[in-house]
Amino acid sequence: MKKILLIASGGDAPGINDFIYHLWQSFSTKDIEFHYSPYGARSLWKNDIKKIDVKNINYLLDIPTSIIGCGRFPEIVGNEEILAQTIENAKQFEHVVLLGGNGSYELAKTLSRNGVNISFVPLTVDNDVDYTIQTLGFSTALNTVVESINRIYYSVNAHGYVSLVEIMGRNCPDLTELSLKLSHADLAVTNNPLKTPKEFAKEVKKIYDEKGTATILVMEKMKYSIQEYADEISKFGIPTRPNILGHIQRGGRTTVGDKILAYEFAKAIQKSIRKHESIATGKNIKIKLEK
């Protein structure tokens, strides 16, 4: 009986359960046991591993959020003792499937170099994995964000104030920039280029003076917070409301685009497991991980 370990390393993202469904369906459960690490790589380090037991696997297609848990584990970076124990525990399994963003990709490469049979799936709403043009979960997050922005926009128009909407992305501006193009938002500030609250407030004032209202997007985790931008705009006497979408961005109903990606990624990973290959899959791309 081969044992496969699934790890969602980092934040949750829609489409993960579709991926699990298609991977599960591609194997006979008589030959394969699927296990998971409930708090990401941290649980692997602690050897806190659980067996996946889905009696009615079809229901996975209706749930956007991870049934195998998830979690970040920054402590593993630069800590040789933690890394060594994590590697040892990972080698209990025939194959490890690691899902996550750019930090998780680096971890997958490290584990592969240390003899772990592992494959990586780019799963993140941030779209921050450099080798692929689109990560699993990004399409759904974008759809949810655009819908949320437009709802806020109509309310803002009725009340005549400025609304700042904070968008996820960590260090990648894709979600904010595409949301600006696809929604009714008027302006966005990201880290590319970064603008000070004072500089940006002047641009917002011009829009407000013309329209009597404005919907503004602010990328998260920049040098300046959404509140700092709001405070600077308020100095012009403009009524300003910050809105943080937060986990709403992770919980939308999975789009067809993400469902297709989940299917394609699952088929690629299924092949890598059967061939004992360590790969990183992506949209129309497959990269072999260094051994």
Active site residues: 126
Helix/strand/coil for 205: helix
Where b means 16+ CB within 10 Å and e means fewer, 44-67 reads bbeeebeebeeeeeeebeebbbbb
Contact 129/135 with Cβ under 8 angstroms?
Answer: yes
d(C-alpha 20, C-alpha 63), whole Å:
11
**CB contact at 8 A, 27 and 70:** no
CA distance 164 to 144: 17
Q: Which residue has the tokens 């880290």?
A: 191
Among candidate residues 160, 11, 124, the one with its CA nearest the CA of residue 72: 11
Cα(179)–Cα(143) distance, integer angstroms? 9
What are the residues facing 251 on neighbouring strands?
none
Task: Decide: helix, strand or coil at residue 34.
Answer: strand
Q: What is the layout of strands, in order, in the sheet containing 50-51? A: 50-51, 32-36, 2-9, 95-100, 118-122, 279-282, 285-288
Pairing of strands 214-219, 279-282: unpaired
C-alpha angle 168/172/176, rounded to 5°?
50
Q: Can you read off the two tokens belonging to residue 23?
A: 């991977």
